[in-house]
Structure 1
Amino acid sequence: MFQRRRSAVALRHVAFEDLGLLAPIMEREGWNVSFCEAPVDDLSHSSIGDADLLIVLGGPIGVYETDSYPFITREIVLLERRLAQGLPTLGICLGAQLMAKALGARVYAGGVKEIGWGSVTLSEAGNNSSLKPLADGSPVLHWHGDTFDLPDNAVRLASNENYANQAFAFGNKALALQFHLEADPRQLEEWYVGHAVELAASRISVRDLRARTTDAAKIVARQADRVFTNWLDRLGRGEAADKTARAR
């Protein structure tokens, strides 16, 4: 029997922060992905709000900078509606912060700028979630200076020594990742150029970061595949369960 390919929309803020390692996984798992350029596209369009999955990607701006970037308010409204309806949503870095804001939590500048490869510590819930492959301390890419409080009714999945909230789940269909599990080491040269001013201001050596990326590349693609494939599979099983319940 023919199975309909599901639709996903990725909200992108800057061209080089795209789906990365997640793109081939989505293709393999039967998803049609289209991109929406968050700063300029119509975020109220039904193709975005009603997509089977919304993925909100990263970007070098703050959730609280709505005066400078008014489209942020429209993103928050979009996320408020999707999360209230329990629609599948994935947020990465800025996307996670936007999800937290849409759920009523505070988003603010953190005390430490995290840029580079590091591990996260999973909570008990995290160990029982799709993030379990990261329990061995596998490296993930951090690239943020902002953080957020854990939203009401959200479940903390991961933290580290700098920030208590590195990942959370909201219900069974929403996942927020402060770190970049999707980052493809082969594409990070674009990040080094796109974030050149930030790297210089933070006195981070591109040479050192590149060397760490070479080491991380040996494992991160496999771990991203395991985490995202598991999460997408859980979404599929949840969708099937919802259809069964409605049929009764």
Structure 2
Amino acid sequence: MRAHYLQHAEFEGLGMIEHWLHSKGYEISCSRMYAGDPLPALDEFDVLIIMGGPMSANDEAQLPWLHSEKAFIRAALTADKVILGICLGAQLIAASLGQAVYPNREREIGWFPVRGSTHQNGAAFHFPPRLPVLHWHGETFDLPHGAVLLASSEVCRNQAFQLGRSVIGLQFHLEANRQLLDQFVTAEAASLVPSEWVQSAEHILQVDDSTLASTTDLLDRLLHYLTEGK
């Protein structure tokens, strides 16, 4: 099996996703969108992972490659690829399907809980009733038509969604490990002006091992769900 990921910033790599892919024997390739790497042909991968990034999905004037990336994501959706979008990646899935991306009512940065939807389809992936996860976003999006809402937080309704059997978008970062946390707080230090929904770098880095283990376990289950039978 072959996994390809779209990277939008040097500091936002695969994190724990890479560990899972290696453990399952995947070949891994990457397009560094910020560096001008080419996009692959659709027959060159089975799983597409769209990472986060500090830019907006609306920044096509400043970053023309976003237009090409959205067209590529639409083509991958039409080709029925397994797709996981994370933070900006989830927003790009929504934008590629014609949905709006816009500022959330609060910037949400740090470890805050998401709650699994109590009204989700029985066939969809199930999130736990409550789990602290890493957030790092200032924007949100409208759900794509036909999407199932999987999880919400107190200040952002559309935290996770599913399209069909093989596409999931997450507004948050289940892939976070301690190395990724260090990279985030260093690269995005200017964003960390503490407020009710923005934690300090110290607070973010002091997350306990059990929380990281819980988010990694959920990521493992989600990736298994997406790739099962593929």
Same fold judged by TM-score > 0.5? yes
Partner of 1:64: 58
Structure 1 residues 131 and 50, CA, compared in 2 at 3 Å: closer, same or farther? farther
Aligned residues: 226
1:196 aligns with 2:157: no
Extract unaligned runs of 5+ from structure 2: none
> What whole-Å deviation, never above 9, does each CA across 1:101-142 have from its counterpart, x for those lacking one?
11221111111000000111111327864443x33x221000
Partner of 1:244: none
- Once the two structures are overlaid, the 10-residue window that deviates more, 28-37 or 167-176, is 28-37
- Mapped partners of 1:210, 1:236: distance in 2: 31
> What whole-Å deviation, never above 9, does each CA across 1:210-234 have from its counterpart, x for those lacking one?
23x2x2x323234323x33333333
State the secondary structure of the residue aligned to 2:48. Answer: strand
2:212 to 216, 220, 232: 220
Letter of the 1:17 counterpart: E
Q: How does 1:92-111 map to 2 (within 5 A)?
A: 92-111=86-105
1:232 aligns with 2:203: no
> What whole-Å deviation, never above 9, does each CA across 1:38-80 have from its counterpart, x for those lacking one?
121112x31x664100100000000111101111111100111
Structure 1 residues 222 and 163, CA, compared in 2 at 3 Å: closer, same or farther? closer
Partner of 1:34: 29
- Mapped partners of 2:104, 2:176: distance in 1: 22
Work out whether residues 49 and 82 of structure 1, in 8 Å CA contact, stay in contact via their aligned partners in 2. no
State the secondary structure of the residue aligned to 2:93. Answer: helix
Structure 1 residues 185 and 126, CA, compared in 2 at 3 Å: closer, same or farther? farther
State the secondary structure of the residue aligned to 1:139. Answer: strand
TM-score, normalised via structure 2 length: 0.90
Structure 1 residues 201 and 222, CA, compared in 2 at 3 Å: closer, same or farther? closer
Work out whether residues 21 and 221 of structure 1, in 8 Å CA contact, stay in contact via their aligned partners in 2. no
Partner of 1:175: 168
Work out whether residues 2 and 44 of structure 2, in 8 Å CA contact, stay in contact via their aligned partners in 1. no
- Mapped partners of 1:179, 1:127: distance in 2: 23
User: Whose Rg is larger?
Assistant: 1
State the secondary structure of the residue aligned to 1:108. Answer: strand
2:85 to 88, 91, 98: 91
CA RMSD of superposed structures (Å): 2.1
Extract unaligned runs of 5+ from structure 1: 1-5, 240-248
